[in-house]
């Protein structure tokens, strides 16, 4: 029984040849055998039907044709180098190649494997080649790559839009829409930071709280449009009057606040004098000259955000009660 099984598994040379011919004639892969000549040329000995059909070879080209004569010199040198590497190393060689086969300009792609066939008795050297087309996969790969590139572009564009939107939202969240100075929310944050720094490091800072004298009269007599223009102009003068380290913002209505880091009473007094001078020299559109009522306070160890604001606010109202166009320390 065992003997019968072994005999059944035995494949004769004729069977192997028949199987090879079936593969050779019916395979969709391109199969070829080339013989290396003594002068370094390569001769096509066999070319399977798939390869003949692909390149539309004549019978002469399919068998017995010199590759050196058939191909341009540069193409022959490239192919000969691969064939020689295969034979010299007596090992398989894998590579990808591409060709344009017609006037459409479309490039097609193949993955090729070369196998060395060296006759030990005669010394003849042959290369057996198997070339499988993967143009469709290449097209899909190119489409996916293009789709990814487009997706990346869209993501970048969307990310940029989101960053710009976040920047706008940040500006909206910390800047007063009318004057473009810091809004009250931002001033609260900055004032909290100054209080914390002062308590931790012993820094001293000051506050200046002010409003435009007779601003209600301007709104009532000339309208809110003119009143808004006054506030915008005032904000510009304010920005030009303070130091780079000072923090100015709109506290509400016609009230404005300046946080003066590392400041003494003398520093605050100098800043107030500069501001009053600049305001009195500025001709406001359709309004003329204006004055300010100002209150100031310097940080004390017992202060928190509310207490220092309250002291500056009391000083402001004292200035108003003095007849306006005044500055008072609390």
List the catalytic residues: 254
Match 């540069």 to its residue by tokens. Answer: 74
Q: How many CB atoms lie within 10 A of CB 142?
A: 10
State the CB neighbour count (10 A cutoff) for residue 256: 27
Tell me how many degrees the CA angle 224-230-235 measures, rounded to the nearest 5: 130
Burial class (CB in 10 A: 0-12, 13-18, 19+), 259: buried
Please state, in angstroms and rounded to a whole number, the distance separating the CA atoms of residues 263 and 205. Answer: 5
User: DSSP 3-state assignment of 84?
Assistant: helix
How many CB atoms within 10 Å of residue 305? 13
Cite the DSSP H helix spans in 129-214: 135-174, 184-201
Separation between Cα atoms, residue 295 and residue 211, nearest integer Å: 9
Side-chain-side CA neighbours of 87 within 13 Å: the count stands at: 23
248 Cβ contact list (under 8 Å, min separation 6): 181, 182, 238, 239, 242, 256, 257, 258, 259
Q: b/e per residue, 11-27, with b = 16+ CB within 10 A?
A: eeeeeeeeeeeeebeee
Residue 244 is given by DSSP the state T
Asked whether 161 and 139 are in contact (CB, 8 A), the reply is no
């Amino acid at each position: 029984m065992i003997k019968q099984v072994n005999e059944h598994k035995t494949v004769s040379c004729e069977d192997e040849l028949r199987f090879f011919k079936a593969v050779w004639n019916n395979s969709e892969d391109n199969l070829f055998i080339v013989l290396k000549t003594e002068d370094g040329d390569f001769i096509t000995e066999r070319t399977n039907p798939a390869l003949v059909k692909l390149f539309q070879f004549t019978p002469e080209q399919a068998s017995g044709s010199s590759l050196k004569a058939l191909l341009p010199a540069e193409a022959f040198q490239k192919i000969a180098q691969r064939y020689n590497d295969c034979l010299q190393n007596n090992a398989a060689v894998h590579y990808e190649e591409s060709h344009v086969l017609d006037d459409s300009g479309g490039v097609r792609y193949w993955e090729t494997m070369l196998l060395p066939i060296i006759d030990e008795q005669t010394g003849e050297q042959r290369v057996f080649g198997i070339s499988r087309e993967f143009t469709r996969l290449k097209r899909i790969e190119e489409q996916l790559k293009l789709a990814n590139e487009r997706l990346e572009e869209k993501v970048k564009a969307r990310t940029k839009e989101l960053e710009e939107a976040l920047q706008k939202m940040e500006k909206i969240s910390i800047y007063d829409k009318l004057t473009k100075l810091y809004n009250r929310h931002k001033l609260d944050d900055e004032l909290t930071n100054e209080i914390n720094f002062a308590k931790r490091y012993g820094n001293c800072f000051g506050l200046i709280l002010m409003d435009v004298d007779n601003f209600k009269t301007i709104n009532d007599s000339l309208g809110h449009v003119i009143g808004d223009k006054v506030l915008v102009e005032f904000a510009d003068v304010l920005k030009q009057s303070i130091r780079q380290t000072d923090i100015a913002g709109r506290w509400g209505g016609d009230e404005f606040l300046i946080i003066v880091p590392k400041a003494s009473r003398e520093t605050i007094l100098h800043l107030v004098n500069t501001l009053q001078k600049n305001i009195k020299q500025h001709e406001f559109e359709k309004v003329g000259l204006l004055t300010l009522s100002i209150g100031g306070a310097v940080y004390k160890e017992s202060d928190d955000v509310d207490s220092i604001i309250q002291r500056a606010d009391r000083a402001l109202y004292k200035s108003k009660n003095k007849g306006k166009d005044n500055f008072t320390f609390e």
